[in-house]
Amino acid sequence: MDLSLTPELEEFRDEVRTWLEEHLVGEFAEHRGVGTSSDDVAWDVRLAWDRELAAGGWLCMGWPEEYGGRGASIDQQLVFELEYARANPPYKATAAGQDLLGPTLLAFGSEEQKRRFLPRISAAEEFWGQGFSEPGAGSDLAAVRTKARLEDGEWVIDGQKIWMSVGARAHWMYVLARTDPDAPRHQGLSMLLVPVDQPGVDVRPIRNIEGGADFCEVFFEGARTAEDMVVGGVNNGWKVAMGALGTERGTTLLAEHLRVQREIDLAISAARSTGASRSAVMRAELASSWSAAKIMEWNGRRLIAAIKGASGGDAATQASISKVFASERHQRIGEVAIRAMGPAAEVVGPDYELNPLQAMYLHARAESIYGGTTQIQLNVLAERALGLPREPRRR
């Protein structure tokens, strides 16, 4: 993919750089790079940063203006994400609504749902949790057992969800529930929008390996939501859920290699400091890590080209390729970084304070699970890209 900029895009890039230089100051600058999708550290600062972005019109840029976006082109979004990643700001606190639910509502939601929810998401005023996974339905979402039934013009929901990011702070949850218990596994599911502040919703935080409590499990016992809070139609939840999980984030993925490159630079500094760099094996591993970051960049470029229709490739296939490579290699990069730190890698600060390399290593352990497990992604590539026989499935 050609990343050369037109004069118009160069002007837009300069606008982005200027805004970031003027606004990424004070406590925002002090918290550069802080936080991850499963870490609630510095939440208030990150939320304030999101609202600073919203005030500048930089959240949800690709959404139509009537829903709080600015109708930005893919190229403009790409330029922004690259400049944003280079600036290394705090991790967004409200990414769940912006990156997953928002695009899903744009694709499947009613006009009333779009106007009700999207402007509040783009203004960082309302937070969302994703209620898909269950103790017996992680990668196999067709096994969802949470049930919903219509009663007096409302959906009544009973069941349990787990691994919900930002769930403890969510105002609303989008919940995959079985609305027709007699239908086949992939049918009879609906995606419901459920308010959290009600007696039938019990949210319980889960402390994760990074020390954060941003994950949670949720129990629904007679929880209620209005009859029209169904996205994409009753019993059409499988299609909607697959659309949510398949949301294209190519502009964001392309910028990820910059974050990984910073981590590799930290690992190189650690290896020099501890003397680990005197080992030829360590030098080879660091060189391999650097090369992996470069491959992540090129995979991101291929994905963008597929999304724009410039390569003739399939965007979903390229997204799976990018996901498998990035998650597996990022875990190996984390292992190299820990070895580069030497014995210091086993020591944490007060209150379980982690340095960036320790946090990266621990966070990367989950990357081959969330967002589509490596095993599922390999099945997708084998069947859809290579045309291999389908794996036997239960009906």
Catalytic residues: 248
Q: How far is CA 154 from the centre of its chain?
A: 31
Decide: 122 and 136 in contact? Cβ < 8 Å.
no
Phi, psi for 220 (deg, rounded to 5): -105, 125
Number of H helices, E strands in the chain: 13, 8
Report the C-alpha gap between 353 and 7 in whole angstroms: 45
Q: Which amino acid is at 87?
A: A
Decide: 315 and 246 in contact? Cβ < 8 Å.
no
Decide: 41 and 107 in contact? Cβ < 8 Å.
no
The torsion region of residue 79 among left (phi > 0), alpha (psi -120 to 50) and beta comes to alpha
Tell me the sheet residues that pair with 177.
190
Q: Which amino acid is at 203?
A: V
Give CA separation, 395 vs 147, 190, 197, 243, 387, in Å.
19, 18, 36, 21, 21
Q: Which amino acid is at 120?
A: R
Decide: 258 and 86 in contact? Cβ < 8 Å.
yes
Phi, psi for 263 (deg, rounded to 5): -65, -40
The torsion region of residue 234 among left (phi > 0), alpha (psi -120 to 50) and beta comes to beta
**By C-alpha distance, which of 43, 187, 188, 67 is closest to 118?**
67
**By C-alpha distance, which of 355, 163, 357, 149 is closest to 260?**
357
Report the C-alpha gap between 296 and 254 in whole angstroms: 8
The torsion region of residue 382 among left (phi > 0), alpha (psi -120 to 50) and beta comes to alpha
Report the C-alpha gap between 256 and 88 in whole angstroms: 11
